[in-house]
With several copies, the nearest count.
Chain A
Amino acid sequence: MSELIRDKTVFTLTEVAKSIQKTIADRYTSAFWIKAEMNKLNYYSHSGHCYPELVEKVNGRVVAQMRSTLWSDDYININNRFLKMLNEPLKDGIKILFQARIKYDAQYGLSLHITDIDPSFTLGDLEKEKQETIERLKKEGVFDLNKKAVLSLLPQRLAIISVETSKGYADFMEVIEKNPFGYKFFHMLFPAILQGENAIDSINYQLSRIEKVKSHFDVVAIIRGGGGDVGLSCYNNYAMAKTIALFPLPVVTGIGHATNETVAEMISFQNAITPTKIAEFLIQKFHNFAVPVSEAKQQIIQEARQQLLDANSLLQSEAKLFKHITIGMIQRNKNLVNTHTRSMIQDAGYVFRSERNKLSTARQTVLKDATNQLQRAKQETGNLHQTFVRGSKTFLAAGNISLQSLEKNIEIMNPVHVLKRGYSISLLNGKAIRSTGELNENDLITTTLFDGTFESTVKKILPQQS
């Protein structure tokens, strides 16, 4: 029990430890389900016991830490269940949900005694880790980087990360070396552990070596095969995945398993289910190169010849067209010249005919009009001739008539006619006696009768009494 030393109550360490042990035993009577990260498994192979180191981290900082014990029988039992469910053994760095009792030992201090671990929690956690790795890589923008790496047109120089004795490596080499196409590869093995926790460092180490001599290689092939499906969660590891993603050469993976695709496979340049497929993928790349090259020859031969044929036929058709149109043009011009010649001959002939007609018309006009004029003149002359004859005769007739009329008048006036009827004219001294007053008795008068005269003497004058 406690003792007093200089007014102080003093306990021994054992007393304290016992007190704590008792208090804890009283307080924690039953087992609990606890979740924590198993930082280290601390498996001791000779005893078969494990002393897992448990931690809880917040933002990467350890906020709680506790030791624990897992006795051999429990470990074997639990590990089997893990392998069955996760394809992974119990290992460092996984999160676990475990049943434990709090135990205090005076000598070893506080620890948790693990009696059971639920593999399904770890499975979820591993899955969660995988998802976290994916998300982180994506967040950092490196997830697709290796996919975007440029694979040489001929991935001819291979840096192989594998195990020389593995079946996967042998399969791969068989396909690569004995390809029937004579494709020549250069390859160099960088041996590494390919599964389990150690694979991460091992692979990263070899990748770092390859990076040093990357100029000698076109592609890195991670080849595994024949090792079963256990211990592949290392390929979900963030560090390894990031290395692969950032690797300057394309990384192809042929890990060969039946489980879900790991992150490393997801982010690798090319993933194949088996190493053989990887080899075939590479051969295919050669094909992709070789086929166009050998086709190019055919295409170029064909196209060049076709082009020459086309050019030749184009040239010939142009020459033919040239001949055709040139001769056509000459022909056309010949026709034109001929047409003009004919037209000229015709027109000249027409000029002659037309002029002849004109002359002939002139001649006829002259003949007709001259004749007409002469005819007219003859007519006029004839008319005048007739008028002249008629006029002359009329004139003479008129002369006759007027002469006859005068003659008649004279005849009438001739005194002879009066004398015949018994009248007589007496003259005195040659003058006709018109009055008795002109007479004197004894005048000698001469009396004229129609048939002669007689002379007498006036005896008596008897004037008329009125």
Chain B
Amino acid sequence: MKEPITYTKAFEELQAIVAEIEQGEISVDELSAKVKRASELIKVCKEKLTNTEEDVNKILKELDAEG
């Protein structure tokens, strides 16, 4: 599931889950699954952020090297 989801989608879904929980739209029964999903999403987001940061740094290092 990690591959196809985008950071944007993942973050939006995370926000949606948080909003649902905040507005009491989730029952305790669903909470565990939602928490799991949220955790996956957070991981996906972090991973994507880290990867992107590495990519960007690498590119910029190259750019600097070339002058």
Question: A and B: real partners?
Answer: yes
Interface residues of B in 1-57 (CB under 8 A from A): 7-8, 11, 14-15, 17-18, 21-22, 24, 26-29, 31-32, 34-35, 38-39, 41-42, 45-46, 48-54, 56
A293 located at the interface, meaning its Cβ lies under 8 Å from any Cβ of chain B in the complex: yes
Q: Is the pair B42, A347 in contact by a Cβ cutoff of 8 Å?
A: no
Give CA–CA (A212, B35) in the complex, Å: 41
Give CA–CA (A428, B15) in the complex, Å: 30
Q: Is the pair B18, A391 in contact by a Cβ cutoff of 8 Å?
A: yes
Q: Is the pair B21, A381 in contact by a Cβ cutoff of 8 Å?
A: no
A458 located at the interface, meaning its Cβ lies under 8 Å from any Cβ of chain B in the complex: no
Give CA–CA (A370, B17) in the complex, Å: 11
Give CA–CA (A365, B34) in the complex, Å: 13
Contacts A307-B28, A362-B42, A388-B38; A188 near B56 (Cβ below 8 A)? yes
Q: Is the pair A186, B22 in contact by a Cβ cutoff of 8 Å?
A: no
A369 located at the interface, meaning its Cβ lies under 8 Å from any Cβ of chain B in the complex: yes
Q: How large is the interface on A (under 10, 10 to 19, 20 to 34, 35 or more residues)?
A: 35 or more
The stretch of A59-67, A85-93, A250-258, A328-336 in contact with B is A328-336
B-side contacts of A157, CB under 8 Å: 52, 54
Q: Is the pair A156, B52 in contact by a Cβ cutoff of 8 Å?
A: yes
Interface residues of A in 386-413 (CB under 8 A from B): 387-389, 391-396, 398-400, 402-403, 406-407, 409-410, 413
Q: Is the pair B28, A311 in contact by a Cβ cutoff of 8 Å?
A: yes
B-side contacts of A156, CB under 8 Å: 48, 52
Partner of A388, one of B7, B18, B58: B18
Q: Is the pair A352, B32 in contact by a Cβ cutoff of 8 Å?
A: no
Partner of B49, one of A295, A363, A403: A403
B-side contacts of A184, CB under 8 Å: 49-52
Number of interface residues of B (CB under 8 A): 39
A371 located at the interface, meaning its Cβ lies under 8 Å from any Cβ of chain B in the complex: yes
Give CA–CA (A402, B24) in the complex, Å: 13
Query: Most chain-A CB neighbours within 10 Å: which of B27, B38, B49?
Result: B49
A-side contacts of B58, CB under 8 Å: 216
Q: Is the pair A304, B35 in contact by a Cβ cutoff of 8 Å?
A: yes
A131 located at the interface, meaning its Cβ lies under 8 Å from any Cβ of chain B in the complex: no
Query: Most chain-B CB neighbours within 10 Å: which of A295, A300, A400, A425?
Result: A300
Chain A 340-375 per-residue mask, 1 if CB under 8 angstroms from chain B, else 0: 110111011001101110110011011101110110
Give CA–CA (A363, B37) in the complex, Å: 11
B-side contacts of A409, CB under 8 Å: 18, 21-22
Q: Is the pair A403, B24 in contact by a Cβ cutoff of 8 Å?
A: no
Give CA–CA (A358, B41) in the complex, Å: 12
B-side contacts of A181, CB under 8 Å: 49
Q: Nearest B residue to A189 by beta-carbon distance?
A: B56
Chain A 275-304 per-residue mask, 1 if CB under 8 angstroms from chain B, else 0: 000000000001001101111110111011
Give CA–CA (A193, B62) in the complex, Å: 23
Query: Most chain-A CB neighbours within 10 Å: which of B24, B27, B56?
Result: B56
A-side contacts of B42, CB under 8 Å: 293-294, 296-297, 315, 318-319, 322, 337, 340-341, 359, 362-363, 381, 384-385, 388, 403, 406-407, 410
Q: Nearest B residue to A387 by beta-carbon distance?
A: B18
Give CA–CA (A104, B31) in the complex, Å: 92
Partner of B45, one of A299, A337, A344, A415: A337
Q: Is the pair A212, B63 in contact by a Cβ cutoff of 8 Å?
A: yes
Contacts A153-B7, A341-B42; A395 near B21 (Cβ below 8 A)? yes
Q: Is the pair B31, A351 in contact by a Cβ cutoff of 8 Å?
A: yes
Q: Nearest A residue to B58 by beta-carbon distance?
A: A216
A-side contacts of B21, CB under 8 Å: 299-300, 303-304, 307, 322, 325-326, 329, 344, 347-348, 351, 365-366, 369-370, 373, 388, 391-392, 395, 409-410, 413
B-side contacts of A430, CB under 8 Å: 29
Give CA–CA (A352, B52) in the complex, Å: 9
B-side contacts of A377, CB under 8 Å: 7, 11, 28, 45, 49
Binding site for B on A (CB under 8 A): 152-154, 156-157, 181-186, 188, 209, 212-213, 216, 286, 289-290, 292-297, 299-301, 303-305, 307-308, 311-312, 314-316, 318-319, 321-323, 325-327, 329-330, 333-334, 336-337, 340-341, 343-345, 347-348, 351-352, 354-356, 358-359, 362-363, 365-367, 369-371, 373-374, 377-378, 380-381, 384-385, 387-389, 391-396, 398-400, 402-403, 406-407, 409-410, 413-415, 425, 427, 430-432
Binding site for A on B (CB under 8 A): 7-8, 11, 14-15, 17-18, 21-22, 24, 26-29, 31-32, 34-35, 38-39, 41-42, 45-46, 48-54, 56, 58-60, 62-63, 66-67
A-B contact pairs, 27 of them (CB 8 A): A153-B7, A183-B50, A184-B50, A213-B59, A216-B58, A296-B38, A296-B42, A315-B49, A318-B15, A318-B18, A333-B49, A340-B42, A351-B21, A359-B45, A359-B46, A363-B42, A363-B63, A366-B35, A366-B39, A370-B35, A373-B31, A374-B49, A374-B56, A378-B46, A391-B18, A413-B22, A414-B35
